[in-house]
Amino acid sequence: MPRDQVQTVRLKTARGTVRRRLPRVTAPRGRAVSLEFLEDALAKRGKTFRKRLRKGVPRRARGIDDAVRGLRTGSRRLLSVLTAVERVGARKAARRLAKGVDRIIGRLGRLRDLTVQREMLSRLDIPAAPSALRSYERSVARDLRRSARKTRRWLDRKGGGMSKKDERRLLRKLRRPDARRQDADGRRELLRELRSTFDELQSRRAAVDPSRVETVHEMRLELKRFRYLVEALEPLLARATQDAIEALHALQTTMGDLHDIEVLSSSLVEFANGDHQRAAALAPALADLEAKHSTMLRSFLESADPILVHWQGALPQA
């Protein structure tokens, strides 16, 4: 592909700079896609979700980060398929199952915050960790162990989600002639859902105020919904390249790291509240976090619009 047809975005993350290409959007290849791909996606994502749910939260602290990240990601990917299934049939069953999966995501929120705080602390760029910071690290580790125990018990007792039996029941409903739309109508319904999600994402982008962190957080949540729905409906998106999907992922990573820095910074400030000596000791760590946040925020602001403009052209009309 000629160089002038490719745009590259550069996004700063906690692990370094990520570069992603946005090739020129070309005319789609003519093809008619059967909605049977939804059944395969439901089976695949349901299997992954149940596997991670069975694994749960390990007892060893070293494995908690990956387990929590994997279960939350698996849950969101399953939710995107359930959203699609809801648009073409089995509405009540899909919504009921989605509520159980949503409940798991919510329950893992506190544990996820603690794992990312621990990871962000390990990436601080300061010459020597003061005793106050080491004390904070110990408190995070203690809270993480306590939260992991509670979450483990809750998952064992009330985890729920989507069982294999639920999946089979949902597939039967999806295959019923009176519950399943014709493929052409179903495709239009799914593309309307995708376009609606993208429109909401653009609305959130327009509302972003760099001085109000909650506006960036709201856009990040909508970006997650859009990205996972794109992955679920990829067979319908003839003009969507893997590079463009990876650009969404990179943007989500940068925005997630921004949120994680904000969570850690506010937690450190709270830890030092009322203790001037501790506040002075933690000042270098807070300054490093602020510098990282500023760099990532600038990267996000520079890259978000090119990525969204690309997707504006890549999405087919419903």
Q: What digits encode the pLDDT tens for the residues 149-183?
A: 999 999 988 767 778 888 888 888 777 765 555 67
- Say yes or no: 201 and 174 in one domain: no
Q: Is residue 6 located within the same domain as residue 24?
A: yes
Same domain, residue pair 90 and 172: yes
pLDDT tens readout for residues 28-51: 554 567 788 888 999 999 999 999
Determine the structural domain holding residue 83 and report its residue range. 36-180
* 220 and 113 part of one domain: no
Under 8 Å CB-to-CB from 195, ≥6 apart: which residues?
Answer: 315, 317, 318
80 lies in the same domain as 122: yes
Domain count, the chain: 2
Question: Among candidates 286, 288, 293, 255, which has minimal Cα distance to 269?
Answer: 286
* Same domain (yes/no): 158, 236: no
Give the distance between the most distant pair of CA atoms in the chain: 70
Is residue 150 located within the same domain as residue 270? Answer: no
Helix H or strand E segment including 8? strand 6-13
The model carries a pTM of: 0.89
Q: End of a domain among 180, 213, 248?
A: 180
Amino acid symbol at 148: A
Same domain, 43 and 171: yes
Q: Does one domain contain both 217 and 120?
A: no
Statement to judge: residues 23 and 99 lie in one domain: no
Question: Is the same domain home to 21 and 132?
Answer: no
